[in-house]
A and B are shown apart, each in its own frame.
Chain A
C-alpha cells in the first residue's frame, strides 16, 4: 500500500501516538530503542494540571548512525547568534567547509554595503591546511586579522568562530584576540564553538552569548542614558525581515528599540543594550543566557513575547505595554485596532481554505511552540511537534501550546519523522531543507520553517499576512492533485 492509500481518519490521539512510537522503536537495535524511547511521547494533561506535559527527555547526545537532523555548536554561534552582526567580520576559523556551507544561507537581512561596511553574506575563512593543523593556526589568525584590517578597514570588530580542529590542536585564540585587540583598537572576540562541543546547535548559542558577555559587554557596555521607553529585542535574527516587522510595531506603540540581537544588528547596538529598561526575548532558547546576565548585572528585567499570529501579537503587545505607562498602553491598543481590519481580511481570505487542516512541525528550539497559535489563528491543527535542540524548560513552555494527544518527538531521526508522516498524513509539514524534498515526494505539502522557505517576514502583523499566504499556497497548490498518474489511480 502506498502512503497515499492510507485512509484518512482521526489523525491524532494518545492511543494512535503510542502505537506509532512503538512501531518506530521496534526498528532500532535494543540499546538504541531504549535511548530513543525517552525522546518520544504523547502530550497528556496529568491529574491536577491545567495544561499537557510533553514528557520527553531532551538536550541529550544524538545516537550515532540514525540521521539526526541536528547541527553543531559552530552552526549555533556563527550561523545563528554572531553571523547576523553586520558590521563585524566573522572568521570561520579552521578548514574551508563550515563557512562554505553556511555562507549566506540564513537570510538574516540587513541594510548597508556588503564587503565595505557590512559583512554578513561573506565567507571569510582561514582555510586551514595540513601545516596549520601540525604547527597551529595562531600565527595565521594574527596575520588574518591584519589583512582584514587592510582590506576591510570599516569593520567595527572581528569574531573568531572556532571550527572543530581549533580546540583539538590547542590553539590559543584568546591570546591572539587579546593581543590583536590592543594592536588594532577594535573588539576581537574569540568564540570556542567547535562543532564537537555539546550535543547540538544549542551549546553554540550559549557559548556565543557568553562570548558577548566576556568580550563585548565586560569592557564595552554602555548602561548610561537612554529614555524610559528603551527596550531591546533579543533573539530575533531578522530572517526574511522578521525583526523589521516586529520593530515597526514596537515603535508604533511608542517604544524605542535600542538593539535587536542579532538580526540587522551592529556592535554599537550590542554595547548600548544594557541601557534599556526591558529586554523582550523572542527566541528564548538561543538568547535567554544574555538576558539573565543583563538582569543580574544591570538590573534589566526581561520578558518573553511572541509575534507569530494575531492572537499572540495582541497578547504580547498588551503584556509589553503593561510594563510601561498608560500612554504606551493606550498606543498598544491603537496599534492592535489599526491592524485588526487587515488581520480580519487575511483570516476571511485564508481561514476557509485552511480550516481543519492538520500540521506537523519539527524545527529548532522555539518555533515548534511559538508558531502553534499562528496556525490556530488560521484554523489549522497541530497534531505533532518537536524540537531539534530544545531543553527541558522549552518542553515545559510547550505544554500550554499543545493539546492532549499531540505527538511529541525530540531530536527526531529521519526514520522516525518519515514514519510518523506516512502514518499521520498531515496536510502540512513545517521543518527544514533536509526534510523538505523527501516529504514532498510523499505527496505531503511542506514549508521550510527555518528559512521561511525563502519567504517572510512571518513576525508581526505584516508578517502574518505573508505566513497565511504561504501556508495556503503550500496546502492548496494544484500540484498535489497530480502526484499519481490517472491510469494508475484508475487501476
Chain B
C-alpha cells in the first residue's frame, strides 16, 4: 500500500506507484478499446511533420486552442479599474461565473461582477425586467458608485437595446438621473477581450465627458490607458511612479492595480482604488491621452481625439527603446524633461543587458499573445539580440501583421522571423514542430506546447494560472525591463543546467 499518514502521496506522486500503473494498464486493455500504441505513436509523429502542418494550416472552420477570450471579459476587467464600479453583465449568468473565475485564477484575487441572469423566458421576451431587477438588487446589496453594463452573446443575439433598457431601468427603480450606468455592447462573436476592454473604457469615459458642459480647457496633465494587461497591478504602479518622477500630473483611465491586489488583514474589500469619477471628468482637460496598447483602445482614442485632445498609442512598450519612446512622448506632450533618476534607471537596465547579452544573443524564441504584447515583447527581444522565430497572435489582424513586419525589417535579428496573425496555438504547435525555437514566450496555455515539443515556456503574459504572483512585478518601464530580462535569463540558464547535468561538461558554477 503506497499511501501513509507519515508520507502522504497526492496526485503528483500517488499515481506513479506500481499499483496504479498496473491498474491503468488493465483498464486500458480490458475496457477502453484504445488504438494500438504503435498507431498512436505513428499519428503523434505525423502531427509533428510538414504534411500535417499543411493540413493544419488548410483548416478554415476549426479553431484549436486559440489564445484569446471574449469581449465581456475585457469589459469586466476595464470596469474593475474604476472607483466603486460594479460590473453588471446582461445575459446568461454562467458567463459571469466564467469571467470571475478566470480573473481570480490569474490574479489570485477575488473578482466581483453580477449578472442579470437571463433564462429562456428572457430569450423570448427580452431582458428588460432582468436589468430592472438586477440594478435594483445590485445597488441595494453592493452599494456601487457606478454600475457598468456589458453584454453576453445571448443578449446580443436577441438584440436587447441597452440604451433604452438602461434609461427605463433607472426610471423604474427610481434611481437619480445622476447615478452613472454606462454601458457597452460586447458581443462575444466580434473581436476578443481586447475589444471589450476598449468599448468599456470608451463607454465609461464618454458617459462622463458628454455630461460636462463647455469646451475642454487643456492643462498640463496626461491620461494613460493601460489596456488589458495581466501585469497591470505592478505595471500601473510603475507607470505612476515614473510619471511622478517626471512631475507630470497624470491619471489612469482604468486602474486595476489596487482592486486586484488587496491585503489579507481580516477585511474583504470588494472595491479598492481605481479611477474616480472626478478624475474621469478631469481627464477631459488633459493635455494628451497616451494608450499603452493600441489594439485595446482604438475606439476610445478615436472618441478622445474627437474632443480635440492629443492622443498617441503604443504597443505595450517594453525594453529600453520602448520605454524611451514612451517617456519622450510624455515629455513632448507636457514639456517636462525626463529626470536624471529615470536616466539612471535606464543606464542600469542597459548595464544588466550588457552583463547578460552573451546568454541571449542569437537565441531563438517564439512569442504568442495579444497583438500589443507580442509587438512590445518582440521589440525587446530584438534589443537583446534574440532571434524571434514565430510571432503569433490569435486576435492580431492584418494591421498588426504589417506593423510587426515593419518592426522586424528594422533589425538584423528579425530577418527570419515569421508573423502569424489570426492563428491559434495548434498552428503554433505545427510551426514549432517543423521550424523550432529554443523557447516559447506566452501565457500558461503554452504549457501544452512545452509538454508536446519539449520547448521551455516563459510565462510573460495573461493568463498565468500555474505560477503565482508574477503580475506583482512590473514588465514595463526600465524596472520592468529588468524583471523581464531576469525571467528570460533564468529560463535560459536553468535549461542549460538541465541539459548539461548528466555529463557535467558545461555544468558551470559561474556563468
> Which of A87, A147, A195 lies at the interface centre, i.e. has the most chain B CB atoms within 10 A of its CB?
A195
Contact flag A63-B117 (CB < 8 Å), given A129-B190, A268-B32, A345-B5: yes
Is A34 in contact with chain B by the CB < 8 A criterion? no
The answer to whether A215 has its CB under 8 Å from any CB of chain B is: no
Among B108-116, B298-306, B410-418, the one that faces the other chain is B108-116
Give, as a whole number of angstroms, the nearest-CB distance from B263 to chain A.
Answer: 7
Q: Mark B225-269, 1 if CB is under 8 A from A, else 0.
A: 000000000000000000000000000000000000011111111
Could you say which of A109-117, A310-318, A323-331 contacts chain B?
A: A109-117
In the complex, per-residue mask of B69-105: 1 if CB is within 8 Å of any chain A CB, else 0 = 1101100000000000000100111110111111011
Neighbouring A residues of B19 by C-beta, 8 Å: 248
Across the interface, which residues of A come within 8 angstroms of B332, CB to CB? none
Closest A residue, CB atoms, query B190: A130
Contact A151-B112, Cβ < 8 Å, known A100-B69, A342-B1, A438-B268: no
Given A111-B28, A123-B65, A196-B122, are A116 and B133 also a contact pair (CB < 8 Å)? no
Return chain B residues, CB-CB under 8 Å to A4.
Answer: 266
Cβ of A18 within 8 Å of any chain B Cβ, yes or no, is no
**Interface presence of A297 (CB below 8 A):** no
| Beta-carbon nearest neighbor of A119 in chain B | B64
Residues from chain A with Cβ under 8 Å of B116 in the complex = 64-65
Q: Is A55 an interface residue (CB 8 A)?
A: no
A258 and chain B: residue at smallest CB distance: B31
Within 8 A of A (CB), among B298-344: none
Question: Which of A31, A68, A95, A128 has the most C-beta atoms of chain B within 10 angstroms of its own C-beta?
Answer: A95
Q: Are B15 and A241 in contact (CB under 8 A)?
A: yes
Given contacts A95-B189, A101-B69, A241-B11, are A66 and B266 in contact (CB under 8 A)? Answer: no
Check A168/B263 contact, CB under 8 A, given A101-B98, A112-B34: no
Contact of A345 among B4, B94, B136, B190 (CB under 8 A): B4
Whether the pair B137, A143 counts as a contact (CB closer than 8 A) is no
Residue A371, interface by CB 8 Å: no
Q: CA–CA, A439 to B104, complex, Å?
A: 13
- A69 touching B97 in the complex, CB below 8 Å, given contacts A96-B70, A241-B15, A244-B20: yes
Kindly identify which residue among B11, B34, B110 contacts A240, using a CB–CB cutoff of 8 Å: B11
- Whether the Cβ atoms of B189 and A132 lie closer than 8 Å is yes
Residue in B23, B97, B115 whose Cβ sees the most chain A Cβ within 10 Å: B97
A105 touches B11 (CB 8 A): no
Confirm or deny: B68 has a beta carbon within 8 angstroms of a beta carbon on chain A. yes
Residues in A with CB closer than 8 Å to B263 are 441
A198–B498 CA distance with the chains assembled, in angstroms? 52
The answer to whether B61 has its CB under 8 Å from any CB of chain A is yes
**B406 on the A face (CB < 8 A):** no
Tell me the minimal C-beta distance from B99 to chain A in angstroms. 7
Establish whether residues A98 and B39, one from each chain, have CB atoms under 8 Å apart when the complex forms: no
Contact B69 A97 (CB under 8 A): yes
Q: Are A116 and B15 in contact (CB under 8 A)?
A: no
**Contact assessment for A114 and B448 in the assembled complex, using a CB-CB cutoff below 8 Å:** yes
B187 CB contacts on chain A under 8 angstroms: 95, 130
Q: How far is the CA of A348 from the CA of B33 in the complex (A)?
A: 43
**A303: Cβ under 8 A from any B Cβ:** no
Which candidate, B151-159, B285-293, B396-404, B482-490, is the interface stretch facing chain A?
A: B151-159
With an 8 A cutoff between CB atoms, is A22 at the interface? no
Q: Does any Cβ of A come within 8 Å of B63's Cβ?
A: yes
Contact in complex: B268, A64 (CB < 8 Å): no
Q: Separation in Å of the A466 CB from the closest CB of chain B?
A: 5
Counting chain A CB atoms within 10 Å of each CB, the highest count among B11, B91, B110, B157 belongs to B11
CA distance A69 to B94 in the complex (A): 9
Bound-state CA distance A74–B23 (Å) is 32
A234 at the B interface (CB under 8 A) = no
Distance (Å) between the CB of B507 and the closest chain A CB?
32
Contact with A along B106-143 (1 / 0, CB 8 A): 00111111111111101100000011011111101110
B24 at the A/B interface (Cβ < 8 Å)? yes
Contact A126 B61 (CB under 8 A): yes
A413 close to B (CB within 8 Å) = yes
Task: Tell me which of A115, A141, A164 contacts B452 (CB under 8 A).
Answer: A115
Instruction: Specify which of B43, B88, B136, B189 is in contact with A154 (CB 8 Å cutoff).
Output: B43
Give the segment of B52-60, B202-210, B347-355, B383-391 that binds chain A: B52-60
By a CB distance below 8 angstroms, the chain B residues around A169 are 157
Q: Which residue of A lies closest to B62 (CB)?
A: A147
Partner of A466, one of B10, B28, B34: B10
Chain B residues closer than 8 Å to A163, beta-carbon distance: 153
Interface presence of A72 (CB below 8 A): yes
Give chain A residues whose Cβ lies under 8 Å from the Cβ of B269. 441
Q: Does residue A305 face the partner (Cβ distance < 8 Å to B)?
A: no
A196-B44 CB under 8 A given contacts A66-B137, A101-B101, A462-B3: no
Q: How far apart are A132's CB and chain B's nearest CB, in angstroms?
A: 7
Mask, A404-416, CB within 8 Å of B = 1, is 0000000001110
Contacting residues, chain A, for B68 (C-beta < 8 A): 96, 100
- Among A177-185, A283-291, A453-461, which stretch is in contact with chain B? A453-461
B104 touches A74 (CB 8 A): no
Extra contacts, 11 of them, besides A3-B266, A3-B267, A469-B8 (Cβ < 8 A), are: A71-B98, A95-B70, A112-B34, A127-B66, A148-B62, A154-B43, A245-B14, A247-B27, A433-B104, A437-B108, A466-B8
**Leading 8 A-B pairs by shortest Cβ distance:** A72-B94, A97-B70, A65-B134, A268-B33, A64-B134, A101-B98, A95-B188, A65-B138
Pairs across A and B, CB under 8 Å, 30 listed: A61-B119, A64-B118, A65-B141, A66-B114, A66-B137, A67-B142, A71-B94, A74-B94, A96-B188, A97-B188, A101-B99, A103-B65, A111-B24, A117-B35, A122-B65, A127-B66, A143-B61, A151-B56, A151-B64, A168-B154, A199-B119, A201-B94, A272-B31, A346-B5, A432-B101, A436-B104, A437-B109, A441-B266, A468-B5, A469-B8
